[in-house]
Amino acid sequence: MSLRTATAWFNSESQVAKKSLQAMISLLSDIVRRLELKKKKFEMFERASDASDDDILNFWEVLQTVDSTLTRDDTTKKNIKNKDDLKSFFDHCCQARHYSFSIN
């Protein structure tokens, strides 16, 4: 199987899987939106879709300006623990949250 054929197969299977899961995702989203914690409703955020690849690349370029030592393999808290520029950016510009849910 060529790379082009494998990529086409994966993309078509991925689309089928997304469509088959859409009803379950909608149901779970509705349930989560009804939940409250300390009288504040939970929020749901859409995942970054394939259509926003440019947005993701643009965001990566911005992250590179914050800390040029970042690599795409730096995906865990342990990986970025020693990134001083990134840590100072987070401390100054971001707010940490304890509760996060992701439905892919």
pLDDT at 75: 77
Smallest CA-to-CA distance from 33 within 45, 24, 23 is with 45
Query: Domain residue spans in the chain?
Result: 1-44, 53-104
**pLDDT tens-digit series, residues 50-90:** 556 677 788 888 888 988 888 878 878 888 888 888 888 88
User: pLDDT for 9-46, tens place per residue?
Assistant: 666 777 777 778 888 888 988 898 888 888 888 887 77
- The residue written with tokens 């510009």 in the block is 93
CA dihedral of residues 44, 32, 104, 90 (deg, nearest 10): 50
